[in-house]
């Protein structure tokens, strides 16, 4: 068994074992069910295997404590998710699930921990057996509109599309989650995210169909030149005239035999 086949077998075994009781390393903890169609198509291909993926999600994230040498708060330093979903039907009125206090913005401090609203589209990483397969998958993804895609080391193709949304909506103050925007603005970015979910899933379905066709022989459409078309039409016309002549000759002979 080749190194690629060993790696693929190991990944598929992990996928089969993942459950609520045995979570993976993603925030969700289990396989994104919305990705199952494209996962199955990719992993059915003998020269590809999925290594990580997300069907797309909306998240509201409270930054962690900022370190002395950075102005960006990381998740691991007391950062946390306030809301996250992969399912658009769970998105309306999401802000009612967060204990927001609506206030006018205060002057910010260097240590301020911001609340960020994000829509993140499909992201998919696929390990390929060789560079030829990686190039074919990359071209397929680009043809489906995933213009942020690329080929990394070890023939891993990253498939991405640039329809994300990322905006600050508040901050933490005295342990309160302060929204610096009105509910009407939260409703607006919710609508924008729902539109992005629709486009994201449309693109994902298109990509799934395109990957299904990878490696299958395609019908080649022959494009004729004007001269080739002229000669073909002439040949077809001559054949029709010859057929008509032969049919008339046949009827003439039959008539002669009847008159004898």
- Cβ atoms within 10 Å, residue 39: 20
What does the DSSP 8-state code read for residue 194? H
**Phi and psi dihedrals of 239, rounded to 5?**
-65, -40
Q: Which two tokens stand for residue 197?
A: 């979910």
**Which three-class secondary structure state does DSSP give residue 167?**
strand
140 near 211, Cβ under 8 Å? yes
Cα dihedral across residues 101, 106, 111, 116: positive or negative: positive
Residue 147 has pLDDT above 80, yes or no: yes
Q: What is the pLDDT of residues 7-21, one digit of tens each?
A: 999 999 887 765 444
- Cβ atoms within 10 Å, residue 211: 22
Residue with tokens 């494209």: 38
pLDDT confidence of 22, banded at 50, 70, 90?
A: very low
Q: What is the pLDDT of residues 186-204, one digit of tens each?
A: 999 999 999 999 999 999 9
Burial class (CB in 10 A: 0-12, 13-18, 19+), 126: buried
- CATH no. of 3-213: 3.30.1960.10
Start-to-end Cα distance in the chain: 83
Give the per-residue pLDDT at 222. 56
Worst-scoring range by mean pLDDT, 21-25, 89-93, 118-122, 213-217? 21-25
The region that residue 217 occupies, defined by phi over 0 for left and psi between -120 and 50 for alpha, beta otherwise, is beta
pLDDT confidence of 124, banded at 50, 70, 90?
A: very high
Q: Compute the average pLDDT of residues 136-165.
A: 95
Q: What is the pLDDT of residues 227-259, one digit of tens each?
A: 777 888 888 888 888 888 888 888 878 777 777
Q: What is the mean pLDDT of the chain?
A: 86
Give the per-residue pLDDT at 239. 83
């Amino acid at each position: 068994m080749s190194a690629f086949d060993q790696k693929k077998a190991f990944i598929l075994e992990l996928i089969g074992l993942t459950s609520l009781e045995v979570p993976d390393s993603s925030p969700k903890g289990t396989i994104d069910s919305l990705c199952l169609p494209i996962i199955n198509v990719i992993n059915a291909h003998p020269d590809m295997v999925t290594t990580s993926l997300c069907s797309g999600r909306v998240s509201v994230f409270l930054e962690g404590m900022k370190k002395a040498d950075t102005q960006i708060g990381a998740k691991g330093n007391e950062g946390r998710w306030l809301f996250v979903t992969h399912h658009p039907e769970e998105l309306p009125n999401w802000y009612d699930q967060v204990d927001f206090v609506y206030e006018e913005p205060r002057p910010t401090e260097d240590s301020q921990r911001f609340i960020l609203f994000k829509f993140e589209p499909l992201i998919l990483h696929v390990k390929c057996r060789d560079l030829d397969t990686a190039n074919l998958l990359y071209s397929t993804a680009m043809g489906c509109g995933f213009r942020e895609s690329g080929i990394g080391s070890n023939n891993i193709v990253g498939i991405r599309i640039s329809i994300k949304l990322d905006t600050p909506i508040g901050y933490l103050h005295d342990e309160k989650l302060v929204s610096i925007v009105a509910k009407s603005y939260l409703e607006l970015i919710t609508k924008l995210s729902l539109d992005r979910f629709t486009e994201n899933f449309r693109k994902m379905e298109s990509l799934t169909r395109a990957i299904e066709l990878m490696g299958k022989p395609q019908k080649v459409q022959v494009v004729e030149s004007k001269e080739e078309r002229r000669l073909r039409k002439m040949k077809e016309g001559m054949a029709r005239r010859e057929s008509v002549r032969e049919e008339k000759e046949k009827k003439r002979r039959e008539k002669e035999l009847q008159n004898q």
